[in-house]
Structure 1
Amino acid sequence: MKALVLAGGTGSRLRPITHTAAKQLVPVANKPVLFYGIEAIVAAGISEIGVVVGETAEEIKAALGDGARFGARITYLPQERPLGLAHAVFIARDWLGDEDFVMYLGDNFIVGGITALVEEFRAERPDARIMLTRVKEPSLFGVAELGPDGQVIALEEKPRHPRSDLALVGIYLFSAAIHDVVATLEPSARGEWEITDAIQKLVDSDRTVRSTVITGYWKDTGNVADMLEVNRSVLEGIESCVEGSVDETSELIGRVRIAPGARVERSRIVGPAVIGENCLILDSYIGPSTSVADDCVIGGSAVEYSVILQDSRIENAGRVEGSLIGRSVQVKGAERRAHAHRLVLGDHSQVRIDK
């Protein structure tokens, strides 16, 4: 069995972070979200991995290399434009050959890995198995309708009037049968080759399509709110480890990980939280569910439930909460507050100024 990992998306929902970085490499607990997927695939016994790449190909290649660090062999499959999940299968056809494969969206995160799912697929050998989870807004996802005995009846991509609340999770398992139906697809109204259309064709041709409803934790990390929530979830499982220096006036509470070269001075850190290598935390408070990447400086500030990327500085900024701050960012508080208001107001304006 092989694995096809999709890492070619542009990450529009994570802008401006993804203007200069691949969305799959935004860190969760100081490790790129893409790495969690690669590790889950290898843990399931799959070492041949094809990675579909687009505009951020060089950055993805620099991060993953040849796959040896993960115990895998990675082949890169260029996709000129992100034309849909089924299009990714189409361009990978020659590399996949006639082998079964798991398709994994590189910005998805699932707690517990995929080992059990892969083993079940290998044992039963259906033509496809899809992962489903119940969501509050199914119109934002691909949606599946199941029959009374759980068989897949119909699928639809981002329907205006969903027929169920079962959304497709970004992990699919296929036999080589998927290639025949993908070859017959035409672009949808969205201009993409929809994987839901391909799976529907399998259903319509009486192929075996099974589903697994996931009751555990799954997130598509495509927006800031979900990224922060995934970060919180991963941090809940960390163990305390202090490899940097913490002075006598500082306090660490709960599960806190301090990387080598980091310094904590006159500060209080309440876990779960991670502080990256060569960071300086000075006269500050770091609250729960916070990840601070390497080479950051936080001084005279309070940061909680946030992800701070590499080489950023937050100084005298008051309280920062629920934030995703990119690489090499500087956040500084003003030395003094202005006591005057400068206004340019149109006719008949109404203004309220809180003192």
Structure 2
Amino acid sequence: MKAIVLSGGKGTRLRPLTYTGAKQLVPVANKPILWYGLEAIAAAGITEIGIIISPETGEEVKAKTGDGSQFGANITYILQEHPAGLAHAVKIAQPFLGDTPFVMYLGDNLVEGTLEPLVDQFKSNTLDALTLLREVENPTAFGVAEVDAQGRILRLVEKPKVPPSNLALVGVYLFSNAIHDAIAQIQPSARGELEITDAIQKLIDLERKVEAYQLRGWWLDTGKKDDLLEANRIILDTCLQCRIFGEIDAPSQVIGRVEIGKGTKIINSTIRGPVTIGDNCHIENCFIGPYSSIASDVTLIDADLEHSVILQGAQVLNIHQRIVDSVIGQRAFLKEAQKRPKALRFMIGDDCQIELSS
């Protein structure tokens, strides 16, 4: 079995961060979102992985992720010249996939649990497609499946006004080589894309074996700021280990599950976990509250923050109000000239410089 991971798209819902970088490389708990999927695929014993990249961000994805050796896998990069749909991504990946069954994983999704149960069901039932589903409160916003009592998918509907169920399609699929013939028989949708839901529906119409696997744990699409912060919170809650490699001076306090990287200095500050801090950071006269992720090479002086994500190389200086629910981009520079009376919330892209004054 092989895998393809989709890492293209424009990431419009995460702008301004994604004006200068791939949305799949935005970190959650100081690890690119894309890497969580790669780790899950490799842990399931699938080591031949194709990553679908775009012209705009492909080189960044390649430089950051490499040849796959860090995941115990071999990565092949496949260029999708323009975003023409998920089924189109499968179509251009066919030379890489050949006749091998494969996993398709959307690179901006985070899914609780492992892929092994899905792979086992797919193989043991000799399926042509297996889709991961999860109950959602707002099924009109998703592709939705109607499923019979045996777990077979009867039909798929994209963002229905009257949903046949509350079971949304999660961005993880398993296919046999039959999907290639199905894609060859569908037409672009009204938005001009080859939809994977149409291809799966074609398999159903052709009476191929299509089943569902219902996810009981969490599923997060990290396409918006609040979703990204929620993903960061959940990963810190469930996966963070207490590991301290940096220097902490005597007046400082570190409370709860906190990870501090090599070369980082904590001076006269309080860190209240769960918090992860990268390498070579300088944190002085700060309060870092729960559910914060601070990447490497960050400088924080006279600042309070919680439930926020600070990307690599950012500087936050002399902010005397607490920063909450914020995402601050790489190398951003944020400084307050005078005290302000309210809490602050930010969504700041890479390389910004912001000075607050009254």
- TM-score, length-normalised on structure 1? 0.93
Q: Secondary structure of the residue that 1:112 maps to in structure 2?
A: coil
Q: After the TM superposition, which residues 333-344 of structure 1 pair with which residues of structure 2 at under 5 Å, given as runs?
A: 333-335=336-338
Answering whether residue 22 of structure 2 is matched by residue 22 of structure 1, we say yes
2:253 maps to what in 1? 251
| Cα separation, 2, equivalents of 1:289 and 1:118 | 33
Number of residue pairs matched? 338
Once residues 248 and 276 of structure 2 are traced to their aligned partners in structure 1, the CA distance between those partners, rounded to angstroms, is 14
SS in 1 for 2:232: helix
Match of 1:37 in 2: 37
Matches within 5 A, 1:231-270: 231-236=232-237, 237-270=239-272
1:326 aligns with 2:329: yes
Q: Do the aligned residues in 1 keep the contact of 2:2 with 2:103 (CA within 8 Å)?
A: yes
Question: Which residue of the partner structure matches residue 192 of structure 2?
Answer: 191
CA deviation profile, 1:138-181 (whole Å, cap 9, x unmatched) = 12211111123332111012223322211100000000010001
Q: CA deviation at 1:265?
A: 0.6
2:201 alignment partner in structure 1: 200
Moved over 4 A (4+): none
Q: Determine helix, strand or coil for the equivalent of 2:213.
A: strand
Unaligned runs of 5+ in 1: 339-355
Q: Tell me if the contact between 1:313 and 1:329 (Cα under 8 Å) persists in the aligned partners.
A: yes
For residues 208-263 of structure 1, give each alpha carbon's deviation from its aligned partner in whole angstroms, at most 9, with x where no partner exists.
10001101011111111111111111111211111000000000000001100101
Amino acid at match of 2:217: G
Mean CA deviation greater in 149-158 or 82-91: 149-158
In 2, distance between residues paired with 1:254 and 1:161?
Answer: 46
SS in 1 for 2:229: helix
Q: 1:64 to 1:195 in 2, by over 3 A?
A: same
**What is the CA distance between 1:334 and its match in structure 2?**
2.1
Structure 1 residues 39-54: aligned runs within 5 Å: 39-54=39-54
SS of the residue aligned with 1:92? helix
Q: What is the RMSD computed on CA atoms of the aligned residues?
A: 1.2
User: Quick one: which amino acid aligns to residue 291 of structure 2?
Assistant: S
Pairwise CA distance, 1:337: 6.1
- Partners of 2:138 and 2:317 lie apart in 1 by 39
1:8 alignment partner AA: G
- For each residue in 1:15-63, what CA deviation from the matched residue of structure 2 results, as whole angstroms up to 9, or x when unmatched? 1000001000000111101111111100000000011110211001101
User: 2: distance between equivalents of 1:139 and 1:12?
Assistant: 21
- Residue 13 of structure 1, CA deviation: 0.7
Shift of 1:336: 5.3
Q: Give the share of equivalent positions with the same residue, in percent.
A: 52
What are the equivalent positions in structure 2 for 1:96-107 lying under 5 Å apart?
96-107=97-108
Please name the residue that 2:76 is paired with.
Answer: 75
Q: Which has the larger radius of gyration?
A: 1
- In 2, Cα distance between the equivalents of 1:186 and 1:45? 34
Q: Distance in 1 between matches of 2:138 and 2:177?
A: 32
1:179 is aligned with what amino acid? H
- 1:157 touches 1:194 (CA, 8 Å); kept in 2? no
1:127–1:208 Cα contact (<8 Å) kept: yes
The normalised TM-score by structure 2 is 0.92
Write the distance in 1 (CA, Å) between the matches of 2:181 and 2:256: 54
CA displacement at 1:205 relative to structure 2:
1.0
Q: In structure 2, do the counterparts of structure 1 residues 28 and 336 end up closer, same or farther at CA, with 3 Å as the change threshold?
A: closer
Alpha-carbon contact 1:297-1:312 (below 8 Å) kept = yes
Question: Is the alpha carbon distance of 1:336 and 1:130 closer, same or farther for their aligned partners in structure 2, counting shifts above 3 Å?
Answer: closer
Q: Structure 1 CA distance, aligned partners of 2:340 and 2:212?
A: 58
Other-structure match for 2:122: 121
Aligned counterparts of 2:120 and 2:212: Cα–Cα separation in 1: 14
Assess if the C-alpha contact under 8 Å between 1:40 and 1:115 holds in 2: no
